[in-house]
């Protein structure tokens, strides 16, 4: 007979996985835990503090099913409640209202009896998986590059089977099963009768920004631009590693006009954009789920994968709902208003 697993046991397993980084009490909120980090762009009222551990719920509650995901959304909440999941483990930090359909977390989670756990920075730097997927072995890891919390840098050596930039891209396509992802997208386009349909994982596919597929790759500076990595950071890191030949940008991409492209060109570096954030569920979520499965073999674990698509306004839904949108917009949202006196 399967053993009942509690939320507390999940937290204990996560504490073991992260090497003791889970919040354990009030002292951790007062500076004792370096992974309790406040993120802010100085937009009034929009800062969020990461609390690795239980954000909402009851530690003594029995787990029915657990789901590992990247970001908590109202769609994830609804999917959990509809499929018997009551333990949500989100990689990214959870903000009241933002990740709970615009209402307080307490209202939504209490309605469905859900328990929410987050990790984020507490999981970063624990495994070499992202480097391995991208064809190199990390020999140096900095999760506070330039003193900036969460600004991650890997310095790596290309694996023996990855000798060129083309090898790196081919490896990613194979491991991320991109051929099937692209085939599925084409099927959806055909099914919906809409060629103008895009999906995040395939639209933001790995690409060479500076260099050619046949260019050799040896020492790699693996960066994550969305964490605040700047051209000045790149110049500083290159000074410490002048034998580096390639910059690899992952989780987020670098698009034309960004200063990192010019800085890489100036330093004589090749530049590759690898996996985007749309695929982090494989890079970080899958290893985390597998680790939990090893420690808690009696707990059923699901993977919640986001799939973001876009299509033209006129292609959304059936004609009935399109007419609803037009009627509501014209009758209530942009209706003629009486002139003010």
- Give the architecture-level CATH label for domain 7-123: 3-Layer(aba) Sandwich (3.40)
Specify the pLDDT at position 341: 52
Mark the ranges of the chain whose per-residue pLDDT is less than 70: 1, 336-341
Specify the pLDDT at position 150: 84
Percent of the chain with pLDDT strictly greater than 90: 92
Q: Are 302 and 65 in contact (CB under 8 A)?
A: yes
Q: Give Cα 170 to chain centroid, integer Å.
A: 22
Specify the pLDDT at position 31: 85
Specify the pLDDT at position 231: 97
DSSP structure class, residue 112: H
Distance CA 165, CA 285 (A): 26
Specify the pLDDT at position 155: 97
Specify the pLDDT at position 275: 97
- pTM, rounded to two decimals: 0.92
CATH 3.40.1390.30 spans which residues of the chain?
A: 7-123, 129-277
- Give the architecture-level CATH label for domain 129-277: 3-Layer(aba) Sandwich (3.40)
What distance, in Å, lies between the first and last C-alpha atoms of the chain?
A: 76
DSSP structure class, residue 216: B
Q: Are 194 and 311 in contact (CB under 8 A)?
A: yes
Specify the pLDDT at position 225: 96
Specify the pLDDT at position 116: 98
Specify the pLDDT at position 340: 61
Residues 188-203 pLDDT 10s: 999 999 999 999 999 9
Can you read off the two tokens belonging to residue 118?
Answer: 């987050």
Element (H, E) at 324: helix 319-328
């Amino acid at each position: 007979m399967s053993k009942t697993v509690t939320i507390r046991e999940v937290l204990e397993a996560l504490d073991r996985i992260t090497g003791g980084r889970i919040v354990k009490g009030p002292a951790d909120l007062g500076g004792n835990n370096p992974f309790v980090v406040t993120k802010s762009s100085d937009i009034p009222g929009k800062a969020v503090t990461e609390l690795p551990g239980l954000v909402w719920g009851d530690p003594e509650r029995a787990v029915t099913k657990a789901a590992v995901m990247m970001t908590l959304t109202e769609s994830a909440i609804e999917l959990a409640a509809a499929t018997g999941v009551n333990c949500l483990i989100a990689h990214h930090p959870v903000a009241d209202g933002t990740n709970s359909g615009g209402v307080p977390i307490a209202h939504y989670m209490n309605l469905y009896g859900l328990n929410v756990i987050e990790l984020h920075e507490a999981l970063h730097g624990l495994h070499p998986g992202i480097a391995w997927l991208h064809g190199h072995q990390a020999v140096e890891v900095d999760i506070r590059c330039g003193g900036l919390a969460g600004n991650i840098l890997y310095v790596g050596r290309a694996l023996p089977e990855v000798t060129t930039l083309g090898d790196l891209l081919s490896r990613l396509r194979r491991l991320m099963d991109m051929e099937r992802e692209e085939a599925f997208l084409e099927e959806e386009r055909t099914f919906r009768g809409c060629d103008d349909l895009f999906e995040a994982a395939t639209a933001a596919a790995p690409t060479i920004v500076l260099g050619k597929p046949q260019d050799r790759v040896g020492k790699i500076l693996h960066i994550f631009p969305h964490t605040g990595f700047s051209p000045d950071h790149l110049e500083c890191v290159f000074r410490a590693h002048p034998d580096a030949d390639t910059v690899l940008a992952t989780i987020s991409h670098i698009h034309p006009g960004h200063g990192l492209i010019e800085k890489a060109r100036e330093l004589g570096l090749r530049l590759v954009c690898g996996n985007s954030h749309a695929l982090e569920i494989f890079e970080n979520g899958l290893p985390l789920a597998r680790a939990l499965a090893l420690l808690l073999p009696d707990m059923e674990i699901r993977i919640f994968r986001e799939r973001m698509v876009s299509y033209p306004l006129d292609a959304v839904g059936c004609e009935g709902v399109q007419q609803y949108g037009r009627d509501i917009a014209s009758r209530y949202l942009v209706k003629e208003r009486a002139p003010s006196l």
